[in-house]
């Protein structure tokens, strides 16, 4: 009977955290839609596909996650981390960062690797550029931003890269195409400019493209190879 009670309490505790997390996500989506970009966190299938670049080598890597939110992808990265990896978690939003830290305090993979995890609260544009990353997993909703900011962030990601850095990021399937048709002129022009910018970059850097249908809104994940300019 004691075992059943313990399992029940554990189940309720997990459920409470999940509900709190969903609530924070929805509230931040409503109050900061431009930077949050979605109503729900990424699914486990999206998290798996976004972290594919981590698994291309067995040697230790420097990993950067940009826009961790409530940690849907962070927990997958922590699960896959190997000895010697160093992991930086960058998140702009103070409430997301607080929720994430609370969640990770209960996470066994985090407990195992926490000496090698660094939290940075603030925009990726302000990250120090002293040591390059091997893998960057970025969830910034680029289609919500101005072209100037998108260019600024990609330039920054370039400066955070080494000789062979893999960057994964995503966009909602069809979002640019839909907006190019139904949006007002100014918004449409912004979408077209971002479309052009990402296509040009893809021309030089695309490694792979994958669609994940099992997500609240299906997403297309791009993997780019970035090289820090000499």
Residues of this chain, 151-170, that bind ligand SAM according to CB under 6 A: none
DSSP state of 207: E
CA pair distance 65, 91, nearest whole angstrom: 8
Of these, 21, 85, 86, 91, which contacts ligand SAM (CB under 6 A)?
91
Residue 168's closest CA among 194, 144, 129, 142? 142
Contact (Cβ atoms closer than 8 angstroms) between residue 219 and residue 46 = yes
Of these, 24, 81, 99, 123, which contacts ligand SAM (CB under 6 A)?
123
* Token representation of residue 219: 């997403």
CB of 129 to ligand SAM, least distance (A): 15
Interaction of residue 72 with ligand SAM, rule CB under 6 A: yes
**Orientation angle between helical segments 185-205 and 175-182, nearest 10 degrees:** 150
Binding string, 12-51, against ligand SAM, x = CB under 6 A? -----------------------xxxx--xx---------
For residues 152 and 192, which CB has a smaller minimum distance to ligand SAM in the complex?
Answer: 152
Of these, 24, 68, 117, 150, which contacts ligand SAM (CB under 6 A)?
68
Q: Which stretch binds ligand SAM (CB under 6 A): 4-12, 138-146, 160-168, 186-194?
A: 138-146
Buried b (16+ CB within 10 A) or exposed e, 192-219: eebbeebeebeeebeeeeeebeebeeeb
For residues 66 and 201, which CB has a smaller minimum distance to ligand SAM in the complex?
Answer: 66
Contact (Cβ atoms closer than 8 angstroms) between residue 144 and residue 153 = no
Residue 169's closest CA among 31, 65, 75, 17? 65
Of these, 77, 86, 104, 141, which contacts ligand SAM (CB under 6 A)?
141
User: How many residues contact ligand SAM, by CB under 6 A?
Assistant: 22
For residues 72 and 201, which CB has a smaller minimum distance to ligand SAM in the complex?
Answer: 72
Where along the sequence are the contacts to ligand SAM (CB under 6 A)?
35-38, 41-42, 66-69, 72-73, 90-93, 96, 123-124, 139-141
């Amino acid at each position: 009977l004691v075992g059943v009670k313990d399992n029940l309490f554990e189940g309720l505790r997990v459920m409470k955290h999940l509900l709190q997390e969903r609530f924070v996500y929805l509230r931040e989506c409503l109050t900061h839609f431009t930077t949050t970009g979605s109503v729900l966190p990424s699914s486990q299938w999206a998290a798996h596909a976004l972290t594919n670049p981590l698994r291309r080598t067995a040697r230790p890597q420097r990993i950067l996650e940009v826009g961790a939110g409530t940690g849907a992808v962070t927990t997958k990265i922590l699960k896959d981390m190997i000895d010697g990896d160093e992991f930086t978690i960058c998140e702009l939003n103070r409430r997301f960062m607080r929720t994430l830290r609370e969640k990770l305090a209960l996470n066994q993979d985090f407990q195992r690797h926490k000496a090698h995890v660094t939290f940075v609260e603030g925009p990726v544009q302000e990250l120090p550029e002293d040591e390059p990353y091997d893998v960057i997993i970025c969830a910034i909703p680029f289609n919500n931003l101005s072209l100037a900011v998108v260019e600024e962030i990609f330039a920054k990601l370039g400066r955070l890269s080494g000789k062979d850095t893999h960057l994964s990021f995503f966009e909602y399937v069809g979002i640019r195409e839909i907006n190019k048709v139904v949006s007002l002129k100014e918004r449409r022009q912004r979408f077209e400019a971002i479309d052009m910018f990402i296509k040009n970059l893809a021309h030089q850097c695309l490694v792979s493209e994958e669609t994940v249908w099992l997500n609240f809104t299906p997403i297309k994940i791009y993997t780019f190879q970035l090289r820090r300019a000499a």
